[in-house]
Amino acid sequence: MDSGEKLVVDFGDYFAHKYSDEHLVRLLQFHKADKGPLLYMLDNQHGDERVKRVFQLCTKVWELKEAHERRANKRRQTRVALHKELFAAIEEALLLLNRIAERETQWLLYPLFVVASELVREALYMSRVLKLSDEYVERCGRSVHRSFTLCLNDRNPVRGENRRTAVYMFMNLEFKVYHLLGNRDMVKNLIKVIKSRHEDAADPLVPCEQSLAAQYPAQVATYHYFMGEYYGCYENEYGPAAEHLLLALGECSPAQGHQAQIARILVLLVPFAMLSRRAYPRAEAIDAMLTPPEGPAGTTRTKVKVKRTRSMEMVQTVYRAAAQAFATGNVGAYRALIQPPENQMWFLRRGVYVAMLLLEELVLLRRVVLCHHYAGGPSIVPLGLLCAGLSAQQMDTRMLECALANLINKGYIRGYLSHGNQCMVVSKTGPFPPAQPGK
Amino acid sequence: MSSTTEKAVAMSKEDTVSKESPAASNRKSLEEDDEFEDFPADQWPAGTSLKDTNEFHTNLWEESWDDVEVDDNFTNDLRAEISRYKQEHQA
């Protein structure tokens, strides 16, 4: 029978014939309101006890959810008990599927990933909404890590069977868990392992775009988002960070209502690109990406519902003004943006505080470039001239000398300061080297 | 807690609310997105991603660093300041 016409689905059939389809995935997507119109059963003749138990657990999860929906009493105590039961059932299902997957090839990887995602979702709910201890998140992390390692360590030489193809998808789940735990070291270790496998000369790990994740743009975007965050926020390597974040952005679709994800990517991409490429996204381009799509013309359908988030607001106000200050070298305006404590707190929470501080140097550099240009491009630039250009920026000659010394030291200006003559001597050819985006 | 203290606390709360700036209350109405939210689905129709549009590749970035002919009030003031400095120091 064609899979699209199924009324009854035999769970054991997937394991007996080693395939998966949308009906199997639907059964495992526990976060959805229901499991759809199909009836799921398991042939009594099915011999594998682990498969039987997984099916029982899936049935239990759906029954628990339905029973809870029918209950009038939904006090916190009841909800906590329900979610503990749900977590335990999904966790056991994932452990069993991990064991089954160790002997299987690629067909089981996506269903395994779906169950692991459900466990992460449940742990996130218990931690963030129910405010339970981190115990569940930690347990979830251990189970997901087993899925990750059973993929990573597969040595099957047949590429079409090797489970390593799903490594990036489980890596994404681990990223989420470690963020929830606030554990940066675990993120670093995870990336170190993947990097070493990329560099394995004998059997290198394929890039994300050639793995199973390539079939799921959400997974490619998530992978590049977290990699960009790692390089930019943990390692201060803004060039690679911007490259990853741009790849993440490219996968998003404004028409599908991805505005929240786009805003989070832009929160990191904008300052990192300004630092590494000295470029920033056009305001109109940002507005277009963050505007929810309209319903089809001539219909009464409303726009896709998109919540307005703080990231969207900051990108469209503070970042826009920062880009303007960056373009004109307006140090005073830039400082006014980064100094308010509520903005600083937000930069810190988003991991861009250091980048925003470093950007102030580039705003000043832009100012120096413009002063130099308007003065006719002399090779000897009096400090007084630069000071005149910066008079409104509350910067005296001494402060300016320090700031210029810093810019010269960092290679932004080719030249030297002559303190005795109160001037800066710059190279006649290329006094302001262009950005090196790789850094 | 005595009723006087309760009143004082209530009044101080009212003060805080009334002193709250429009910007602050606007911030409160926004959703704090602490996590990178899951996408609503793992897949979406091919050709609808940003990378599939020309705009994304050609019109996303403002790369104005080498462009020194900026025309805005702030830069025009700078231009005037520099020429004033040059005139003063040549005289």
Average pLDDT for chain B: 72
Chain B contacts in chain A segment 76-105 (CB below 8 A): none
Note whether A24 and A3 are within 8 A (CB).
no
Say how far apart CA A63 and CA A33 lie, in whole Å. 12
User: Is-above-0.95 flag for pTM?
Assistant: no
Pairwise CA distance, residues A321 & A333, whole Å? 8
- Dihedral (Cα; A23, A29, A32, A34), 10-degree rounding: 50
- ipTM value of the model? 0.86
The B residues from 20 to 49 touching A (CB cutoff 8 Å) are 26-27, 29-44, 48-49
pLDDT of B73 reads 75
Asked if residue A175 is part of any domain, the answer here is yes
DSSP readout, A165-229?
Answer: GGHHHHHHHHHHHHHHHT-HHHHHHHHHHHHHHHT-SSSPPPPGGGSGGGG-HHHHHHHHHHHHH
Residue among A218, A260, A392 minimizing CB distance to B42: A218
Phi, psi for A337 (deg, rounded to 5): -80, -35
Cα separation, A337 vs A347, whole angstroms: 11
Q: Chain B: nearest CA to A270, how far in angstroms?
A: 10
Residue A132 touches chain B, beta carbons under 8 Å: no
Which H/E stretch holds residue A417? strand A415-418
Look up residue A430 and give its amino acid: G
The answer to whether residue A93 is domain-embedded is yes
Closest CB to B27: pick one of A215, A310, A312: A310
Nearest CA in chain B to A215: B43
Q: How many CB atoms lie within 10 A of CB A426?
A: 21
- Residues of chain B with Cβ-Cβ distance to A382 below 8 Å are 89
pLDDT of residue B35: 85
C-alpha–C-alpha distance, residues A367 and A387, integer Å: 11
Q: What is the mean pLDDT of each run of 10 residues along chain A (439 residues)?
A: 68 94 95 88 83 96 90 84 96 97 95 98 94 95 97 91 96 96 95 94 92 96 98 96 97 94 97 94 93 64 71 95 91 93 95 96 92 89 82 74 94 94 92 80
Distance CA(A291)–CA(A258), nearest Å, equals: 10
* Domain count of the fold of chain A: 1
A323 in a domain, yes or no?
Answer: no
Residue B27 in tokens: 């911030």
Token look-up 């109109």 returns A284
User: How many other CB atoms sit within 10 Å of the CB of residue A320?
Assistant: 18
* pLDDT tens, position by position, A158-184: 988 999 999 999 999 999 999 999 999
Report if residue A183 sits inside a domain. Answer: yes
- The Cα of B66 is separated from the nearest Cα of chain A by a number of Å equal to 8
Q: How far apart are the first and last CA of chain A?
A: 56
Residues A148 and B65: their CA atoms lie apart, in Å, by 44
The whole-angstrom distance between residue B81's C-alpha and the CA centroid of its chain comes to 29
Say yes or no: A323 contacts chain B, CB-CB below 8 A.
Answer: yes
B-chain residue closest to A175, CA distance: B36
A209: region left, alpha or beta (phi > 0 left; psi from -120 to 50 alpha): alpha
Q: Give the number of residues written for chain B.
A: 91
What single letter denotes the amino acid at residue A330?
N
List of chain A residues whose C-beta atoms are within 8 Å of the C-beta of residue B71: none
Min Cα separation B11/chain A (Å): 25
Question: How far from A421 is each of A154, A242, A374, A381, A431, CA to CA, in Å?
Answer: 68, 41, 21, 10, 19
Nearest to B31 among A215, A308, A349 (CB): A308
- Closest Cα to residue A26, out of A94, A101, A91, A115? A115
Sign of CA dihedral A357, A358, A359, A360: positive
Residue A297 lies in a domain: no
Q: Is residue A302 part of a domain?
A: no
A vs B, Cβ pairs < 8 A, gives 154
Q: Does A375 contact B48 at a Cβ distance shorter than 8 Å?
A: no
Specify the pLDDT at position B18.
Answer: 47
> Could you say which of A253, A260, A374 has the minimum Cβ distance to residue B37?
A260
Question: Among B41, B50, B60, whose Cβ lies nearest the Cβ of A252?
Answer: B50
Instruction: Convert the pLDDT of each residue in A367-419 to its tens digit.
Output: 899 889 888 888 999 888 888 777 655 677 888 899 999 999 999 999 999 99
Residue among B42, B82, B89 minimizing CB distance to A216? B42
Instruction: Determine whether the interchain pair B51/A330 forms a contact, defined as Cβ–Cβ distance below 8 Å.
Output: no
- Using a CB-CB distance cutoff of 8 angstroms, which residues of chain B are in contact with residue A277? 61, 63
Does A21 reside within a domain? yes
What are the tokens at A102?
């160790």
| Cα of B13 to nearest chain A Cα, Å | 20
**Closest CB to B82 among A124, A312, A385:** A385
Nearest CA-CA partner of A215 in A292, A59, A110, A340: A110
Q: Is A285's CB within 8 Å of B64's CB?
A: no
Residue numbers of chain B with a pLDDT score lower than 70: 1-29, 64-71, 90-91
Whole-number pLDDT of residue A25: 95
Is B84 at the interface with chain A, CB within 8 A?
yes
Q: Give which of A215, A85, A106, A113 is closest to A158, Cα–Cα.
A: A106
Q: Do A281 and B60 touch (CB under 8 A)?
A: yes
Look up the domain containing A153 and give its range. 2-187
Query: Tokens 């003559």, residue?
Result: A421
The answer to whether residue A106 sits within a structural domain is yes
Helix-strand-coil percent breakdown of chain B, rounded to 5?
55, 5, 40
